[in-house]
Amino acid sequence: MENNISPLSSNDTFRFSCTKTVACFNECCRDLNQFLTPYDILRLKNRLGLTSRIFLERYTTQHTGPETGLPIITLKTDYAHAFKCPFVTASGCRVYEDRPASCRTYPLIRVASRSRETGTVTEQYMLLKEAHCLGCEQGQSWTVPEWIENQEVDIYNQMNDMFMEVIGLKNRRLPGPLDIKSSLMFHLACYDLDTFRSHIFDKDLLDGWNLDPETLDALKHEDVELLKLGFEWVKETLFGKP
């Protein structure tokens, strides 16, 4: 079977299950080029009990996206073992409950776009059938909404759509690569959350924002709220959002 991608409507069904009894178990965790979104990083670093900086240094690499000119974070893989994911074990994924969006959405692919005029996000799901994967021959039938709910993908989609808005604004306001300072600021607010928090409270990074005590308390203790603020800070500070 060759790799095949086909669009799905919300009412279309597909079969899929991945368990240790499937002959290809863990094969999808090899030969990886795994991009991580800011929310992926948030979940993984908390799962592992690491600061964002240590997680990024230990498990990721960074390069500049050729189309966006933005810093892109990629998961380091084990070159000696067929580019294996660092979190896969013989018994499966050791960070399964906090695995990245692309892993939990699989075998679906989500393609999303945002209207510049209304801000409305339009999404389309595709079913990916890969030659190595036998999961599509297993288990019960799912609709797209059923799979998204079962795999708890909604929060990932919400946060990734916010990130998509940041990228869209950057492409409109500041096409091309960022300068070194702007790239470091983007990396700080979107990827290195714990350092971003320390800059807020130890270096008055948000001086002039006039945030109320309740919001400041949330930024001190809640990573999701901190990431949302990071997106807004990048949009205003780097890309001139009014």
CA pair distance 44, 86, nearest whole angstrom: 12
Cα separation, 221 vs 175, in Å, equals 34
Q: Where are the alpha helices (DSSP H) in 94-240?
A: 101-105, 144-150, 154-173, 180-190, 193-202, 213-221, 223-237
pLDDT band of residue 80 (cuts 50, 70, 90) is low
| CB neighbour class for 131 (10 Å; exposed up to 12, middle 13-18, buried from 19) | exposed
Spatial neighbors of 100 by CB under 8 A, at least 6 apart, are 34, 36, 37, 40, 43, 44, 75
How far is 172 from 153, CA to CA, in rounded Å?
28
- Which residues face 13 on adjacent strands? 143
pLDDT value of residue 222: 98
Mean pLDDT of the chain: 92
Terminal CA-CA length for the chain: 52
User: What pTM was estimated for this model as a whole?
Assistant: 0.94
DSSP 83: S
- What pLDDT band is residue 78 in, cutting at 50, 70 and 90? confident
